[in-house]
Structure 1
Amino acid sequence: MARTRSRATAKKVGSTTERQVADYLAAALDDDRIDRRVKTGGKDKGDIAGVRAHGERVVIEVKAVRHEDCTKCRRQSGLALPEWTNEAHTEAGNDDALVGAVILKRTGTQDPGRYWAVMTVDDLLAFITGQRHGHRLADAITTAADPADPVDPRLEQVMRAATTTAQHIATITGEAAP
């Protein structure tokens, strides 16, 4: 029979894992600004603060999963990758971050360098290039819909390019541009 964690134990394991990841990243990147983030309630901005790529903030959500897929016991892993990446994206939006990623503690190791890092391919592209891609770019455009909010010049450039492309396609096909 599978053991279950109490809420207090789960919180302690989560806090310990966050501390391990923050300390590991700070040492590996030689950046003492990287640390566990203070919880901010409804507008959460991830579990680790101070991580940057291309001068932009990176949001990291840390999960301490207890049990990986096991064909012997046929128990589900409890991995909720879509939910966790959506959570990281929401938090990235709250923090105006370039990327939202999830770090998963692996069963059987205390070495954060061996934990799993999970992100969408669009996040990976943003991480590599320093610019949002695909659905993350679309999310940024739709969240910048308030006229009082300044729009990132890169987003304005993409919106102009998309409009120009739509007009060219309409000209070629003879259909009205959207």
Structure 2
Amino acid sequence: MTTTTRSRSEIGRANNRKGKNTERRVVAGYLRESGWPDAERKPDPGWRSTDRACPDLGDIRGTDRLVWQVKDRTDLSGLDIVRILAETAEQAIAAGADYGIVIQRCAGKADPGRWWAWLPVGDLAALVAAGQHDWPAVLDPQLQVPARVELADLVPLLHAAGYGTPEAAA
């Protein structure tokens, strides 16, 4: 019996390819059909040199005032989620966006609408309340704990708060 060992670069390329495919599925398989017709994968990551920097603005563009980070990992721990949400918040600030959302692929679910959407509980509360009254941005550290909903359940809240075009989703 022969086993083939893949090199680190082969594994890295495979993971990179898998991540890009997951981003494409979120964009083409869900966001464009759900009110963001201009959504597209953002292929250029941020970078930093000794005297200049170009911040990472998330994985998806064309969703005005929203930053999206897409993860093709089903094994994320609570600490991983907290770290990724902090990175996404930094990306949202750099992009001048109102919210940063992390999408996590769920094993066994082909429909991206059934994948997890993570955001701070304060942001989720602000989205829920957005249609009811004017609520300032949530910065209370106690409200930075992660909240998880399915993407399909988050999209109507985003539409009600004025994000995307719900009529395009009909």
> Which of the five TM-score ranges fits, normalised by the shorter chain?
0.5 to 0.7
CA distance in 2, matches of 1:131, 1:49: 24
Contact 1:126 1:132 in 2 (8 A): yes
CA distance in 1, matches of 2:40, 2:126: 22
1:48 is aligned, of 53, 60, 72, to 60
Q: Aligned pair 1:60/2:65, yes or no?
A: no
| Aligned residue in 1 for 2:32 | 26
CA distance in 2, matches of 1:106, 1:15: 16
TM-score, scaled to structure 1? 0.60
Q: CA deviation at 1:78?
A: 4.8
Q: How many residues align?
A: 119
| Aligned residue in 1 for 2:117 | 117
| Aligned residue in 2 for 1:162 | none
| Aligned residue in 2 for 1:134 | 139
- Flag the structure with more relative contact order, 1 or 2, with Cα contacts below 8 A and sequence separation at least 6: 2
Larger radius of gyration: 1
Aligned residues: CA RMSD: 2.3
- Which amino acid is 2:114 matched to? R
TM-score, scaled to structure 2? 0.63
- Which amino acid is 1:62 matched to? V
> Any stretches of 5+ residues in structure 1 without a counterpart?
69-76, 137-178
Contact 1:99 1:127 in 2 (8 A): no
- Which amino acid is 1:9 matched to? A
Contact 1:98 1:126 in 2 (8 A): no
CA distance in 2, matches of 1:127, 1:36: 24
* Alignment CA distance shift 1:117-1:124 (3 Å): same
Q: CA deviation at 1:117?
A: 0.3
SS in 1 for 2:69: strand
SS in 2 for 1:134: coil
Q: CA deviation at 1:34?
A: 1.0
| Aligned residue in 2 for 1:7 | 12
CA distance in 1, matches of 2:94, 2:127: 18
CA distance in 2, matches of 1:50, 1:135: 29
| Aligned residue in 2 for 1:161 | none
- Which amino acid is 1:90 matched to? E
